[in-house]
Structure 1
């Protein structure tokens, strides 16, 4: 009788343990933004960081609008195009929601124009994105501006299509 009770008790414990176990969820790797050519990936932690204020790639992949991290510009313009308002507003909301988030805005231009002009234009483009982000509630201290001008093209052909790919601001997240 005692042996039967022990066997039933052990079986009950095993059943309870199996029923309460959590399913292991495998996460797929986040999509890679192939519209940029960087050597550091997408500029965010891989999820293994224990640095205070750091966050994982999964945080930025929760919304499809956060996956878009390149804002394109018209020729000789530093004005954020209206077709990118929703994307920039989405990033502003993320920055409001995650005060520890830090974002570098990298301004780029095509090859036309002098080096000095292009560095200035890249900085003005990054500044325009910064203005929209802060007007939507992002904290100025979360943002860093950098201009590369024409120095880091994503396309090197001499065509309008290619030049259009180089007129951009890249949004690079990283912990502070």
Structure 2
């Protein structure tokens, strides 16, 4: 019985070892825009990309008070920085994502997130950004930036985030 068990174990080990995949001789190129490809991009950030946006604006998001969607002075400064970047990159389109904290119903938070994203869009439009370049989506409370049921987490989740979608 022990001999049979040992023989089965040995055969299993050989079979598993034979199924192991060999590493390819050459790896495929990294996806475009990741900065790790070996093509014409010799390092650095691709102009007009999300990485370029994040590196060159004061922030990619603005924050709101509880049950609020007004753009305050700090938010205005952030959006002015974003508008300047968008002016330098006229072919770029963005999506403004509206978010809410976990309190309230799903429907209420979807509507609140949309009001937050639209408030940011409207302010960017007053700064000369073509509203046709800006899409709006609300995730409500479905995509929290911070987990937790406390004021610190809630404050991080009440936001509008600007995301580059094309160039």
Q: TM-score, normalised by structure 1?
A: 0.65
Question: Over aligned residues, Cα RMSD in angstroms?
Answer: 2.4
- How many corresponding residue pairs? 128
Give unmatched runs, 5+ long, in structure 1.
Answer: 1-43
Residue 44 of structure 2 is matched in structure 1 by none
Q: Deviations over 1:63-111 (max 9, x none)?
A: 3xx1511111000001112112111011112222221011110000001
Q: TM-score, normalised by structure 2?
A: 0.68
Give unmatched runs, 5+ long, in structure 2.
Answer: 1-31, 41-46
Aligned equivalent of 1:84, options 75, 80, 86? 75
Q: Closer, same or farther in 2 for the Cα pair 1:58/1:157, shift >3 Å?
A: closer
Q: Deviations over 1:102-137 (max 9, x none)?
A: 111000000111111100000000000001100001
SS of structure 2 residue aligned to 1:75: coil
Q: Which runs of 4+ in 1 moved over 2 A?
A: 44-50, 54-63
**1:46–1:56 Cα contact (<8 Å) kept:** no
Instruction: Report the Cα distance in structure 2 between the residues aligned to 1:57 and 1:69, rounded to whole angstroms.
Output: 9
Q: Deviations over 1:19-66 (max 9, x none)?
A: xxxxxxxxxxxxxxxxxxxxxxxxx9335699xxx8345643663xx1
**2:58–2:81 Cα contact (<8 Å) kept:** no
